[in-house]
Chain A
Amino acid sequence: MRGSTRFRAAAAAVTTLSLLLTACGGGSSGGSSGKVDPNGTFTVYGTEPQNTLIPTNTNELGGSKAVDPMFAQLVGFKGDNAEPYNLMADSVTTSDSKVYDIKLKHGWKFHDGTEVKAKNFVDAWNYGAYAPNGQLNSTFFGNIQGYADVHPEDKNAKPSTDKMSGLQVKNDYEFQVTLNAPFSVFAIKIGYTAFAPLPDSFFKDPKAFGQHPIGNGPMKFVSRTPNADIKLTRFDEYQGQNKVKFKDLDIKIYASQETAYQDLLSNKLDFIETLPPSALAGSKYKADLKDNLVNGHLLGISTIAIPYYVPGYDNPNLRKAISLAIDRDQITKTVMNDTYVPADGYVSQGIPGYRPGVCKSCHFDPAQAKQLFGQSGFHGKLTIASNADGGRKEPLVAACNSIKNVLGVECDFVPATDFGQWRSIVTGHKLTGMGRSDWSADYPSIENFLNPIYRTGASSNDSVYANPKVDAKLAEADGTADKDAAVKLYQQAEDLIAEDLPSIPVWDEKGVAAKSKHTKGVVLDFRRRADYSSVEVTQK
């Protein structure tokens, strides 16, 4: 294979040329009319995983692109609308949303041939939660009973045990989960990456496992060359409904998005889930891609948090005035080139329970904005801070300008060098003005947009917002077993939040991806990945 590519490229150039010369007026369609190839290779854009390839230690896109197809969770989410369905679970039942009884489907196998049993889940979750293992996703197990024993709050305390009391194996295909407190969304939450089962071989040598993961998903691990590629292949004994229709998955790791995009345009790469700034500028991507543009629906939301600890900002009129002064329509169209849509609530559009217009002051109304700003009595300068890389800066500068023009107040964008520095400013409560606060869902539920962000003391409560009424409403919703009733309660919590405006919803990312002409039916899922089960590869 080495050395031949250049020759092939040259040969291809020559053939294309001669084809062009001879086939003049032949009217060839020159498109993706190739036959579907069930043994084809699907090549996707990748970045180097930031952590080991273990579900409990993978939380970013680069790693989850490889980990997710290798592991199947109890619950899966449909690619196009994120609707949950039972994948490995035969049933998940509860009467009080505190004790969950989970039955598994029979006959599922790990890639090493061993059967997936209830204890594989229980062992994996215990491993993920156990503090000395230092797993990134350990907090996801936080509401299982006994979590505090395996993962004490105090960093110097030794865990008294390595097993959570809330996990009980009933038999090979059934186990029971008892939570600290009722949590109605648990049956959806277990679809998150961290809740995958692990085979017995993992516990013998986790480090070796990280180099060669063995899962129970539709694709199995073949090889990995750091900084170059991760190769997976179809697992033919896979039972789930999200089987893949191609054979090999080649996750090609790029140092630059631009290069990957160029590769995609020359059909050397089959899928990229995000477009580089140069392609977005002036909506160039629309002309570049035409039929190969893939529109998705990401479940995420961008807001501008207004911290309560900054003097002068704790003022409802000021909050409303700022929100009314941002021309969301124009910014999403011109600055963001139609890759975002205006947001008008705290929940991403497309989540069950989303209602349009929840936030009453999330539209553009210069007159009212000016009036409220006058009433607020605010003096001084407004600032919006964020990391400036990755296209974060431009829309916020535009928002600032919009505020400046409408309210006649100074507004500055304050850059941080990178995401790490930005997060340490936010978590250290060192903001001196407003700050970007984006959220993308770990699992598709209205709960995931409220609890982690607006509950008092929650892990991503950037505004340091605290409202006992909201906390009570969220707790009530968590404890309601009936799904629809729970959603209603979450909505009431959202209404309360919208009145306080701890952060200003600004836009919702649509998700714009691109595919090559060698692929059909690629769907972008809610976490910005290709839904591999939707993909068909044509002969090259």
Chain B
Amino acid sequence: MSWLVVSALLFAIGAYGVLSRRTAILVFLSIELMLNAANLALIAFARQWGSLEAQVVTLFVIAIAAAEVAVGLGLIVAIFRRRETTGVDELRGLRG
């Protein structure tokens, strides 16, 4: 029960980071924080329910987060090459 509250607080802190940060890399770091809050909730549920399925889902979340980070950081590097910035406020055009 108490770890569920901690995971809710961590998720809200990550959401604050996504909303308030100006650099795309730090927005990504905050997204990782939110994914980990979801993982913590899953593990707490697995403990309280006594079922291992939630732990398996946590492994899948970790793997998908790794794939997301690879693609996202590739995008950030490609955008930086073209625009010399990664500020999410200044990247407003989709034309590239």
Our verdict on whether A and B bind, yes or no, reads no
| Contact surface of A with B, Cβ cutoff 8 Å | none
